Amino acid sequence: MNESRMGGGGGGDRYFTEKIMAIQGPTLDLPPSEPQNKDIKFANNCRLYLGNIGGDITENDIIELFKPYGETQELFINKEKMFGFIRMDYKHNADKAKAKLDGHVLKGRSLKIRFAPINAAIKVKNLTSCVTNELLELAFGVFGDIERAIVIVDERGNSKCEGIVEFARKPAAAQALRRCAEGCFFLTQSLRPVIVEPLELTDEIDGLSERTINKKTPEFYKQRQVGPRFATVNSFEFEYGSRWKQLHELFKQKEEALQRELKMEEEKLEAQMEYARYEHETEMLRKELAQREIDRERQKAEWEMKERQAEELKRRDEELMKKHAEEMQLRLAQQEEDLRRRQNDNSMFLVEQQQGRGGSGGYGSPGQAYGNAIIDFEALAAAVGNVTGVDNKGSAMDFDQGGRSGGGGGRRNDSASSGWSRREGGAGRWGPSVDHGSRRGGSGGGGPTDYQPKRRRY
């Protein structure tokens, strides 16, 4: 993992948040990891400490000294304090170089070679019993590349609720320490946050040998004057030796009492945590139900409003259709009234013409004038039919045929709209006293088609 992306700034925090979000799901089936003692090239456990380096020793001297044991990297020498560090390629090569070169004399100086403390390691405490090596590596992998992650167990293989995480780089360990100290980092469902402390792994394999201890100090000479022995009972040595043992026993008792008290406090906190979790979940359910009720009421109000709007729209459409129907009826009634008025006016006009001319030398017979009126009526009926959609052509033709027909013995046709009637047995006779037998400038008799008078409109 690139530690520069995990540093400060919005980009690093966003990247870190994405990594955390990616591992928050269930961890029931984690794949088994490789053995923790896997051989990693240039790992932290391949770094050696070089002590008692003389001022005349150069970097090339160190490289040439370690060259037969494998590749080297990250050589550092502090000539003022006479120490340095070098990283070997593999752990077995580092073990071999340490065993062969520890105490080696280089330019008159006896070298001290130890495994360097791993300053990129942390100790993780307060783990639950369900945390494994794989889960520990998965959780702390968000901070950087990990070389080793183990959960410490007892002789029976039970977890001691502690673990060790070794990062590949020191900035990753520093970030894990900082973030876990500032926040609460949980690895499981339990609300027990991990406690992270820095850890410096020391060399616990070879220990301290006679060839590496400094024998020139006064303390060494004083302590090594007397060898191993048992104190005589009731002697001075026995008394103060017993006091030292009592002091350690007191420390052990206080430590056990503190452990018991801490265990009781942990159980108490667990019970409070479970009760608080139950109360929290109950309160969340109440809020969820209340929110659902609010949403249901809101949806109900929206549905009622939509229903009212639909009803209002339907009512408006019905009113609009009713209004249009009334307007159409009024228009039809007005057109019918205009038509009856025109028919009455035409009838009155024909009557006046016949009365004024007295049946001689006029514009023709009443049948001809009435025929002209019928032509106007046909045009008006056609116009009304175009407006109302009603075919008035048939009624107009019937009316026209009734007015233009000649005599028909023994038959009487009445026109309700005009008031005219054809008398029985008289050809070309209209009205009770008007004689239609004469034409202008011609002999009497003849139908309305003998002469078409000049068309007049009223």
Strands 195-201 and 429-430: unpaired
Is 176 among the domain residues?
yes
Cα separation, 366 vs 429, in Å, equals 9
At 328 the pLDDT is 93
Residues 133, 111 share a domain: no
Is 85 among the domain residues?
yes
Mind listing the pLDDT tens digit of every residue in the chain (458 residues)?
A: 444 444 444 556 788 888 888 888 888 888 887 665 556 788 888 889 998 888 888 899 999 999 999 999 889 998 888 899 999 998 889 989 988 898 888 888 888 888 888 888 999 999 988 999 999 999 999 999 998 899 999 888 899 999 999 998 899 999 999 999 999 999 998 888 999 999 876 655 666 667 667 778 888 888 888 878 788 888 988 888 888 889 989 999 999 999 999 889 988 988 888 888 889 899 999 999 999 999 999 999 999 999 999 999 999 999 999 999 999 999 999 999 999 999 999 999 888 888 877 554 444 444 454 455 454 555 555 555 554 444 444 444 444 444 444 443 334 444 333 344 444 433 344 444 444 433 444 434 444 444 444 444 44
Residues 219, 339 share a domain: yes
Residues 175, 162 share a domain: yes
At 424 the pLDDT is 40
Cβ count near 18 (within 10 Å): 10
Residues 128, 109 share a domain: no
Residues 314, 266 share a domain: yes
Residues 101, 124 share a domain: no
Residues 189, 239 share a domain: no
Residues 127, 88 share a domain: no
Residues 123, 99 share a domain: no
For helices 366-388 and 236-357, give the axis angle rounded to 10 degrees.
Answer: 180
Q: How far is CA 437 from the centre of its chain?
A: 101
CB-CB contact of 137 with 145 (8 Å): no
For the chain, the domain total comes to 3
Domain of 238, in residue numbers: 215-344
> Any residues with CB less than 8 A from the CB of 374 and at least 6 apart, and which?
396, 399, 400, 403, 404
CATH number at residue 178: 3.30.70.330
**Residue 34 DSSP label:** P
Q: Is 260 left (phi over 0), alpha (psi -120 to 50) or beta?
A: alpha
Residues 289, 191 share a domain: no
DSSP-based three-state secondary structure for 8: coil
CB-CB contact of 78 with 62 (8 Å): no
* End residue of a domain, out of 81, 96, 115: 115
Cα separation, 92 vs 104, in Å, equals 19
CB-CB contact of 150 with 182 (8 Å): no
Is 399 among the domain residues?
no
- pTM of the complete model: 0.52
Residues 268, 166 share a domain: no
Residues 128, 111 share a domain: no
